[in-house]
Structure formats: C-alpha cells, structure tokens
Amino acid sequence: MSAIFDIELQDAGLLQRDETSEDDSSDVIEIGAEECDAVLDVNEIVNSYCGSDAVETVAICEHNVNRDCGRLGPQDFELCKVIGKGGYGKVFQVRKKTGNDRGTLFAMKVLRKASIIRNQKDTAHTKAERNILESVKHPFIVDLKYAFQTGHKLYLILEYMCGGELFRHLNDEGIFLEDTARFYLCEIILALEHLHLQGIIYRDLKPENILLDAEGHIKLTDFGLCKEHIQEGAVTHTFCGTIEYMAPEILTRSGHGKAVDWWSLGSLMYDMLTGAPPFTSDNRKKTIDKILRGKLILPQYLTPDARDLVRKLLKRQVAQRLGSGPLDGEQVKIHRFFKHIIWEDVISRKLEPPFRPKLTSEDDVSQFDKKFTASAPIDSPVEYTLSESANRVFQGFTYIAPSILEDVYTQQSYLTAMSPPQVIRARSPRKAMRGFSPRTTHFHLHNTHLQTHRHNGVSHGNIEDAEMIEIG
Ligand code: FS9
C-alpha cells in the first residue's frame, strides 16, 4: 500500500509535500477537486520537476494510491434510507460499496457548503465538528470514520447507531426507573469527562443527542451544526432549539466552563426520572426565567440519593455545582447515587443495557422518524457553482479514521502528527420536535426580542452565540 501524503498543487506549479500547512489535517491525496485531469497534471509536474531519466516516475492515480480510501467519495456509498433532514443537509443510512469495510452500514451526514458558508458561525461549527470527531475517540462518543468533500458538499461518514435517539425511547417510556437512568448517566458521565480532559465543552447534552447502538449502549453525537430548518433565500429565519437543559450561565452569557455540562446532566437526570426537564414553561422567555430563578421541585418518589445528586448538579452558583472543581467528573462519579457502580466496568461496556433496540434486520430503520425514512434517499444534485475561494474554506476536511487506516497503513504516527488543533466549542441550536409530540417546550424565534444580528441580509436569532477557542 502506498504511503499517504498530503499533496497540494501550489500556484507556482511545483508539487510539494505540505507539512507546514496551517490548514488542518488532510490525510489523503487531494488533488484539485477530485478531478482525474488533475492527477495527470501532477504526473507532468513530477516529471518536469525531477527532470532526469534516472528518476523513476510513477503515475499517481487511483489504481496505485490509497486504493481503499484515498479517493473516497459519495460513489463509494449506497444510499439506503434518510434518517435525518434539515436546512443544511441530510443524514442517510448508507452501505459502503468498496474497500475492506464493504457492506458496513454507516450514517452519512451530507452538508451543502453554500448553506454553511453564508454564516461564519456555521462554517466554524462544521469545521469544529469534523475536528472534534477526529480527535475524540471514546466508547461513548460517536466515531467519525471518513470525511470527504465534493465541489458542493461536505460528507461525514459516522458510525451508524441503529437504535436511534434515546429521546425516542424516553418519550415512549415516559420515565425511567432509577437503575435505568443510572446506566445512561454512567456512560454519559464518562463521555463528558473524556471531552473535558481534551478541553472540549459539549454544551448540548439532551436526550436527542444521545444515540443507542444495537446492544443499547449510548454514544453522544452532534458536535456541529444546528439542525434547524432554514428556508433557502428566506429573509426571516425560524430558529429552533432546546434550552431546557442549558445552564443559567449560558443563557445569561456570563461566561461559562465545563460545569455547564454537569448542569445539563442534572437536567437530563431530572427529565429521565420525572418525565420532563426541571424548568419548563409554555414559552421560551418563561423557561429562561425559570432556569435562572425557578424553584427546583423534586418529586417525593425519588430516592434520597437521586434527589441529592440532582440538587447538587442543578446549583446555579457554578462554584457550588458538583463537578465544577478541578476533579471534574470524578466528583460526580463518587456521589452516593453511583455507590454500587464499578467504573472500570462502565468504560468496558460491561454494564447490562436496560433496553435493547428491537430490530428486525441489520438495516431496520424503525427506530428513526418515519417522516425521514419514508422519503426517497437522494443526495440532491446542486445546480450552482461555488467559487474557488468559497471552496477553500473547507480545505483539509478530508479524513480517514486511524482504525480504518490500520488495515491498510500501519504507520499511524503520521496521522497523529497531522492532527488539527483541539477546539473548545460551544453548541448550536437543535431542531425542535423532529416528528415527536413535545415532552418539553421548545422555542421558535421569528425575529423576536432576542438579540439578533444581520448577516448577508439575513437575520439570525443570536441566542447561541457560540465561539471557538483554539487551544493547541
Ligand atoms: N447513526 C444513526 N443516527 C444518527 N443520527 C444523529 C443525527 C440525526 C439528525 O437528524 N441529524 C440532522 C442533521 C442535519 C444536518 F443538516 F446537519 F445534516 C439536519 C437535520 C438532522 C439523525 C440520527 C447518527 N449520527 C451518527 N451516527 C448515527
């Protein structure tokens, strides 16, 4: 198998191995924009640059470079079903058609570049999602297998989670027994702890972002774009999202740290045990008000340990909140609610999942919303042309998971050396409902009193003023 180089054709016409590029990790050969002609150009340049007959020149083409993964594109995936849809793109259940992992099911997130680059924050979030998913490998965080792009679209090939959202399951059950909630909380705590160790604040913990695998273990997903519907070309945008699980310091924009995730964990725990998040109302403003000032009401039927943990996680004063100190998740893990938990067993997925998704076949999509799965799986063509400069925004998007490369390329250290900087990110809003009857109140913004800013003549609700801080 050929070595994997990051090759860029420079304007000067020289072929360079780009080791110093500021651009984040492009791990495979990316020549031009997936054009075969560009491959020929490379060979011509190699010949003229080397300029000697003594040098053996090897044609660089798909037949001898990265055969399994180097020129991966949409053509390598069969579209099976739609499992998610939004203003920016779609999520498909796909089956790999080529390579060693042929036949494997994946979730393919397809995003339209033109929709994303309209907004700087969306562009940053999309890059952040790709970077975070590349750098984070954990049993309870969804794994990014490949990333690639065409002239118009970005593709993330993610581990397929056949059990769908925990949200759906929670919705069906109404409430969970404490043992059930404890199982999910344990796995979530380890995922959050891992993210924090890497300098990443998740910020978006809610049942919709927790997916179930075939056995019933969970993985966190969604590290990037908001999924709200944005009507193409419309001047008024509807912003949707869930704020019920958000920490007060996010809503007041008074500066926040990793402790926001422990607040969200408290809200999620409350939701699991009582059937709704702790602070809800029929409109967004009142919900915010309750999160900031509302009295926490704990039902009688909760055990003292559960009550105590919820209370300690839902402390408005960050310094008093469990998990806010330097010990982070450790402080949560040693709480009495988890007294019988052997944490080594949790990380090695030895805890018995309380619920196993009922599937009739490997590709059964009954756990996903019919509203999506009933629609034809088409990766719609794009008619317009994206400018070269617009396209440059996404340079270095391409990625292949080390786990996949292990099969074809053993020098994994190369990839590690090419890792992009870690990114602390803040969250993005979420599409409300997605076909379910609401258990919680979601907000819709139509240029309301919320702070808004204008971008490209388009008004955006600005509640999610997320920023990225590069730390490495
Ligand atoms: N395996 C199964 N399902 C996964 N899902 C998580 C994401 C869910 C979704 O609907 N996302 C979504 C994305 C967009 C965007 F525009 F960004 F493309 C719009 C609307 C919805 C679908 C279910 C999943 N994720 C990783 N592996 C998975």
The reported pLDDT for the residue numbered 359 is: 95
To the question of pTM greater than 0.95 for the whole model, the response is no
Check whether residue 446 and residue 381 sit in a common domain.
Answer: yes
Residue 389 alpha carbon to ligand 1 centre in Å: 28
Q: What is the DSSP pairing of strand 7-9 with strand 423-425?
A: unpaired
Mean pLDDT score across all residues of the chain:
74
Asked if pLDDT for residue 406 goes beyond 80, the answer is: no
User: Does the beta carbon of 204 lie inside 6 Å of ligand 1?
Assistant: no
Asked if pLDDT for residue 147 goes beyond 90, the answer is: yes
Check whether residue 196 and residue 272 sit in a common domain.
Answer: yes
User: Does the beta carbon of 250 lie inside 6 Å of ligand 1?
Assistant: no
User: Does the beta carbon of 442 lie inside 6 Å of ligand 1?
Assistant: no
pLDDT in tens, 11-47: 222 222 233 333 333 332 222 222 222 222 222 222 3
CATH (domain of 297)? 1.10.510.10
Asked if pLDDT for residue 402 goes beyond 90, the answer is: no
Check whether residue 123 and residue 36 sit in a common domain.
Answer: yes
User: Does 4 reside within a domain?
Assistant: no
Check whether residue 194 and residue 343 sit in a common domain.
Answer: yes
In whole angstroms, what is the distance from residue 456 CA to residue 25 CA? 30
Cα-Cα-Cα-Cα dihedral sign, residues 85, 218, 182, 178: positive
The reported pLDDT for the residue numbered 25 is: 33
Asked if pLDDT for residue 178 goes beyond 70, the answer is: yes
Residue 207 alpha carbon to ligand 1 centre in Å: 13
Check whether residue 241 and residue 336 sit in a common domain.
Answer: yes
User: Does 3 reside within a domain?
Assistant: no
Residue 91 alpha carbon to ligand 1 centre in Å: 5
**Nearest C-alpha neighbor of 220 from the set 261, 253, 257, 255:** 261
Check whether residue 145 and residue 207 sit in a common domain.
Answer: no
User: Does 11 reside within a domain?
Assistant: no
Model confidence band, residue 469 (pLDDT cutoffs 50, 70, 90): very low
The token duo for 119 is 């907004």
**pLDDT, greater one: 10 or 214:** 214
User: Does the beta carbon of 424 lie inside 6 Å of ligand 1?
Assistant: no
Average pLDDT over residues 250-260: 91
Residue 38 alpha carbon to ligand 1 centre in Å: 33
Q: How far apart, in Å, do the first and last CA atoms of the chain sit? A: 32
Asked if pLDDT for residue 377 goes beyond 80, the answer is: yes
Asked if pLDDT for residue 131 goes beyond 70, the answer is: yes
User: Does the beta carbon of 111 lie inside 6 Å of ligand 1?
Assistant: yes
Check whether residue 70 and residue 158 sit in a common domain.
Answer: yes
User: Does 253 reside within a domain?
Assistant: yes
The reported pLDDT for the residue numbered 45 is: 24
In whole angstroms, what is the distance from residue 316 CA to residue 263 CA? 8
pLDDT in tens, 424-460: 222 232 233 333 233 332 222 222 222 222 223 222 2
**Per-residue b/e over 417-427, b at no fewer than 16 CB within 10 Å?**
ebebebbbbbb
Asked if pLDDT for residue 114 goes beyond 80, the answer is: yes
Atom of ligand 1 nearest to the CA of 87: 16
CATH (domain of 416)? 3.30.200.20
Asked if pLDDT for residue 9 goes beyond 90, the answer is: no
Atom of ligand 1 nearest to the CA of 110: 18
User: Does 224 reside within a domain?
Assistant: yes
Cα-Cα-Cα-Cα dihedral sign, residues 271, 203, 220, 286: positive
Asked if pLDDT for residue 265 goes beyond 60, the answer is: yes
Average pLDDT over residues 322-330: 97
User: Does the beta carbon of 84 lie inside 6 Å of ligand 1?
Assistant: yes
* Ligand 1 atom 19, closest CA: 86
Asked if pLDDT for residue 71 goes beyond 60, the answer is: yes
Catalytic annotation, residues: 204
Percent of residues, the chain, with pLDDT higher than 70: 67
In whole angstroms, what is the distance from residue 459 CA to residue 163 CA? 37
Percent of residues, the chain, with pLDDT higher than 90: 54
Residue 90 alpha carbon to ligand 1 centre in Å: 7
The reported pLDDT for the residue numbered 283 is: 92
Check whether residue 305 and residue 440 sit in a common domain.
Answer: no
Check whether residue 173 and residue 111 sit in a common domain.
Answer: no
Domain that holds residue 331: 166-360+452-469
Model confidence band, residue 408 (pLDDT cutoffs 50, 70, 90): low
pLDDT in tens, 151-161: 999 999 999 99
Residue for token digits 């660089």?
60
Model confidence band, residue 384 (pLDDT cutoffs 50, 70, 90): confident
pLDDT in tens, 415-426: 332 233 332 222
Q: Which of 82, 118, 221 to mutate to test the pocket of ligand 1 (most atoms within 8 A of CB)?
A: 221
Model confidence band, residue 392 (pLDDT cutoffs 50, 70, 90): confident
* Ligand 1 atom 12, closest CA: 84
In whole angstroms, what is the distance from residue 249 CA to residue 425 CA? 16
For residue 472, give every residue at least 6 positions away whose Cβ sits within 8 Å of its Cβ, in sequence order, or none. 199, 421, 422
Residue 273 alpha carbon to ligand 1 centre in Å: 26
User: Does 181 reside within a domain?
Assistant: yes
Check whether residue 415 and residue 462 sit in a common domain.
Answer: no
Q: Inter-axis angle of helices 259-274 and 178-197, to 10 degrees? A: 170
User: Does 23 reside within a domain?
Assistant: no
**Nearest C-alpha neighbor of 74 from the set 48, 97, 58:** 97
Model confidence band, residue 305 (pLDDT cutoffs 50, 70, 90): very high
The reported pLDDT for the residue numbered 234 is: 32
In whole angstroms, what is the distance from residue 106 CA to residue 79 CA? 10
Check whether residue 153 and residue 287 sit in a common domain.
Answer: no
Check whether residue 407 and residue 463 sit in a common domain.
Answer: no
Considering its fold, how many domains does the chain have in total?
2
Asked if pLDDT for residue 313 goes beyond 70, the answer is: yes
User: Does 21 reside within a domain?
Assistant: no
pLDDT in tens, 180-231: 999 999 999 999 999 999 999 998 899 999 999 999 999 999 887 654 433 3
